[in-house]
Amino acid sequence: MTTHPKPTTAFVLAAGLGTRMRPLTDAMPKPLVPLAGRALIDRVLDRLAAAGISKAVVNVHYLADQIESHLTSRTSPQIVISDERGSLLETGGGVVRALPLLGSAPFLIHNSDSVWIEDGVSNLSRLLDAWNEVRMDSIMLLARTSTSLGYDGRGDFHLGTDGRLVRRTQNEAAPYVFAGVSVIHPCMFKGEAERPFSLNRVWDRAIGAGRLYGIVLDGLWMHAGDPQALTDAEAAILEKQKS
């Protein structure tokens, strides 16, 4: 049986302005906003370390000094900063800027505000185990729109029986929403310039080639996008801790 090396490097998206989280982000970057007593980015980095990720490249822009200072005490995973102070490059451009730091092997991309309550096996471990670079350009972690906390959108994707993803059309709903975590091969960024663009561009290319896959999160995904959603997520975490 062919085995595929698991990615050991992650890119953590932490450069956003966090406008929907105001006023909490007026003087604090969103990754440092506390959720049940722990900064959002620390929750992400703790999970990455537990899943075997040894190196995390973190991009910074808004109130970057605060994030850098906060991360100086972390030793696991190893933290490397990708500096976007000069210009905000969005998700895709941020990856292109960080590619020299990420290396030539497939890597994990994790939003710094993606949080969930586990229900059994680590979802990051499941995602890394499911990665197959022969069949895939990228694989996403998905959440069910019907059971996610704080999400009232129309979903992002349909999931085929073979694990392939297709975007919903403009006028329909889809059962799954992107949960903010994916594995991707760096070859997907070949020819892309270091300028602002969305990761959706490379994912759409992967869909066109039949090489974008997904797995469904086990547990409760929480869309902590604004102060009220953050409060609801905290209540869910505290309730889980009681049980």
The domain limits of the chain are: 9-242
**What is the overall mean pLDDT for the chain?**
94
Among 18-22, 83-87, 148-152, 195-199, the range scoring the smallest mean pLDDT is 148-152
Does residue 240 register a pLDDT over 90?
Answer: no
* Mean pLDDT calculated for residue range 54-59: 98
Tell me the CATH architecture of domain 9-242: Alpha-Beta Complex (3.90)
- Confidence tier at 3 by pLDDT (50, 70, 90): low
What is the pLDDT confidence band of residue 2, given thresholds at 50, 70 and 90? very low
In this predicted structure, the answer to whether residue 51 has a pLDDT above a threshold of 90 is yes
How confident is the model at residue 243, as a pLDDT? 67
The whole-angstrom separation of Cα 233 and Cα 148 is 10
Which two tokens mark 126? 């499941």
Say which residue, 159 or 240, is predicted with more confidence.
Answer: 159
Task: Give CA torsion, residues 116, 119, 121, 122, to 10 deg.
Answer: 10
- The reply to whether the predicted model has a pTM over 0.75 is yes
Confidence of residue 79 (pLDDT cuts 50, 70, 90): very high
| Distant-in-sequence, close-in-space partners of 35: CB < 8 Å, separation ≥ 6 | 43, 115, 224, 230, 233, 234, 237
